């Protein structure tokens, strides 16, 4: 079994995530990322990290397991003069590496991370570890030919629930604090694609976005 | 009338070349038209490269006859080189089209290739995106891992599919349809 990731190009999912972050910034009156600490998992060329840095984040860790990819991301950070805000970091998913960043992220962002079912557990552990107690994960996955994106995300969420994560809805306190008046991420998604782009996305099984938070023990959200 | 006739031919030929994906395609199209119309391509050929072809060489031959002669190869090479000078060459034209297609992060179809997915925009050295929620300093430019852009980084598309996992996730619904359809409906936001 060969397992490698080298996200050297800008993927559709990365574009869609970047647009969604931009839209969330607009919908929250530019508050969602302001002065927040962000960690991107699987940053690739670093597009989403660059976006949140521009949108007001105080610190961003652009992480990827592939050091060659990180070199490219670093070059892009320099290109956009965001060295002071974004740091690239090699991060292997799982508790071992994640504990170095324990409870440091207000927001974790990522796209197309769940295609490999073998990494669901370590990915969920990483999210759960690096996220602050009141933090949120903004995760987007896009269908591809040959993949069942619904099954992929459903499988990951079932694993994530066993590692201390939970899916947030608009009634949860973290959602209200971070996403404010956003009623539906689905509606935001629909508003950021053209009809032609939607046809492209639908043809490959659609897109899914999920907002995750940490489980709250002993108190209600 | 002769000079007017020649101008018309040159204009038509130029349009054909511009609309063709390559000079060879243009040549094929021209040959086809010339054969059908029994045109003599004297003025056309002289316009393309009068250094190689003498007037007498052309006037006695229609294009079909000329192709069969040993100087066909010279003619094609001449046509290729000349067309690259007088019009944007095919690769330059493709790059322009590609950039336009990919402008500001458009989402375009991907096609599966062994071990990965490929998309036309992945061939660009860099891409530019504009954030709309902020007014100032809202442009992002990123280099992609193309050979000419950022050096060799394991190809241009990146690896993405891993067979065992792909099969597993693909069949996840069948393995536990109730559980996963329930979770998808309740907790995920679907475009």
Asked if residue A41 has pLDDT above 60, the reply is yes
Other C-beta atoms closer than 10 Å to the C-beta of A68 total: 16
Partner residue facing A210 (CB), from B127, B165, B187: B187
Question: Which residues of chain B neighbour A16 with C-beta distances below 8 Å?
Answer: 107
**Number of domains into which chain A is organized:** 1
A60 within a domain of the structure (yes/no):
yes
Q: Which residue has tokens 């980084």?
A: B153
Classify residue A11 by burial, with Cβ atoms within 10 Å: 0-12, 13-18, 19+. buried
Question: Band of the pLDDT at A5, cuts 50, 70, 90?
Answer: very low
Q: How far apart are CA B87 and CA B76, in angstroms?
A: 16
Contact A16/B at CB under 8 A: yes
Provide the CATH number for the domain around residue A60.
Answer: 3.40.50.150
CB A20 within 8 A of CB A89: no
Contact A9/B at CB under 8 A: yes
Residue A205: domain span: 12-214
Partner residue facing A30 (CB), from B133, B141, B163: B133
Partner residue facing A47 (CB), from B140, B158, B164: B140
Looking at CA atoms only, how far is residue A216 from chain B in angstroms?
A: 17
- The pLDDT score that the predictor gives to residue A166 is 96
In this complex, do B184 and A208 lie within 8 Å of one another by their Cβ atoms?
A: yes
Structure tokens that stand for A173 in this block: 């306190």
- The pLDDT score that the predictor gives to residue A178 is 94
Looking at CA atoms only, how far is residue A71 from chain B in angstroms?
A: 9
In this complex, do A7 and B158 lie within 8 Å of one another by their Cβ atoms?
A: yes
In this complex, do A148 and B122 lie within 8 Å of one another by their Cβ atoms?
A: no
A196 within a domain of the structure (yes/no):
yes
Partner residue facing A206 (CB), from B115, B131, B191: B191
CB A137 within 8 A of CB A211: yes
- The pLDDT score that the predictor gives to residue A146 is 74
A133 within a domain of the structure (yes/no):
yes
A172 within a domain of the structure (yes/no):
yes
- The pLDDT score that the predictor gives to residue B74 is 62
Mean pLDDT of chain A: 92
Q: How far apart are CA A183 and CA A143, in angstroms?
A: 24
Asked if residue A4 has pLDDT above 50, the reply is no
A103 within a domain of the structure (yes/no):
yes
Contacts of A2 (CB under 8 A, 6+ apart): B115, B159, B162
pLDDT, one tens digit for every residue, chain B (191 residues): 455 566 566 666 666 666 655 555 555 565 555 555 544 444 444 444 444 444 444 444 455 555 555 555 565 555 555 544 444 444 444 555 667 888 888 999 888 777 677 888 888 888 999 999 999 999 999 999 854 444 444 334 344 333 334 444 444 444 444 444 444 444 455 45
- The pLDDT score that the predictor gives to residue A194 is 94
Partner residue facing A144 (CB), from B110, B181, B191: B110
The SS3 call for residue B49 is coil
Task: Please state the rounded mean pLDDT for residues A136-163.
Answer: 92
* ipTM field: 0.90
Question: Which residues of chain A neighbour B189 with C-beta distances below 8 Å?
Answer: 184-186, 189, 208-210
Interface of B with A in 77-96 (CB under 8 A): none
Among all residues of chain B, which has the CA nearest to that of A157? B183
Q: How far apart are CA A47 and CA A64, in angstroms?
A: 13
Task: Please state the rounded mean pLDDT for residues A129-148.
Answer: 91
What are the pLDDT digits (tens) for A200-216? 999 989 999 999 999 98
Most A-contacting residue of B119, B176, B190 (CB-CB within 10 A), to test interface: B190
Question: Which residues of chain A neighbour B105 with C-beta distances below 8 Å?
Answer: 10, 15, 18-19
CB A40 within 8 A of CB A110: yes
């Amino acid at each position: 079994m060969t397992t490698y990731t080298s996200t050297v190009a800008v993927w559709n999912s990365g574009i869609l995530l970047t647009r969604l972050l931009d839209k969330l910034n607009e919908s929250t009156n530019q508050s969602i990322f302001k002065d927040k600490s962000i960690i991107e998992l699987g940053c690739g060329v670093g597009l989403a990290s660059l976006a949140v840095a521009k949108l007001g984040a105080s610190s961003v860790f652009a992480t990827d397991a592939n050091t060659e990819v990180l070199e490219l991301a670093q070059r892009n950070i320099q290109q956009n003069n965001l060295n002071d805000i974004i740091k690239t970091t090699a991060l292997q998913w799982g508790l071992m590496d994640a504990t170095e960043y324990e409870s440091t992220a207000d927001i974790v962002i990522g796209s197309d991370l769940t295609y490999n079912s073998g990494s669901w557990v370590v990915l969920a552990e990483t999210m759960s570890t690096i996220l602050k107690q009141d933090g949120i994960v903004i995760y987007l996955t896009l269908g591809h030919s040959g993949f069942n994106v619904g099954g992929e995300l459903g499988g990951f969420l079932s694993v994530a629930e066993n590692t201390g994560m939970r899916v947030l809805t608009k009634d949860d306190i973290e959602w209200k604090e971070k996403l404010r008046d956003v009623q539906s991420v689905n509606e935001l998604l629909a508003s950021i694609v053209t009809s032609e782009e939607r046809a492209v996305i639908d043809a490959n099984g659609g897109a899914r976005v999920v907002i995750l938070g940490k489980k709250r023990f002993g108190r209600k959200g | 009338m002769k000079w007017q006739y020649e101008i018309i031919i040159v204009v038509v030929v130029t349009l054909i070349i511009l609309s063709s994906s390559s000079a060879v395609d243009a040549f094929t199209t021209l040959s086809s038209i010339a054969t059908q119309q029994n045109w003599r391509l004297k003025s056309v050929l002289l316009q393309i490269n009068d250094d190689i072809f003498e007037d007498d060489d052309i006037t006695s031959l229609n294009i079909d006859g000329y192709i069969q002669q040993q100087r066909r190869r010279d003619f094609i090479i001449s046509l290729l080189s000349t067309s690259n000078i007088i019009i944007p060459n095919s690769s330059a034209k493709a790059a322009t089209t590609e950039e336009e297609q990919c402008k500001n992060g458009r989402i375009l179809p991907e096609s599966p290739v062994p071990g990965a997915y490929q998309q036309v925009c992945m061939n660009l050295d860099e891409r530019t995106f504009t954030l709309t929620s902020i007014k100032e300093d809202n442009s992002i430019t990123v280099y992609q891992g193309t050979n000419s852009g950022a050096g060799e980084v394991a190809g241009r598309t990146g690896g993405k599919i891993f067979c065992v996992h792909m099969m597993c996730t693909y069949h996840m619904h069948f393995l536990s349809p109730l559980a996963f359809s329930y979770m998808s409906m309740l907790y995920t936001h679907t475009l």
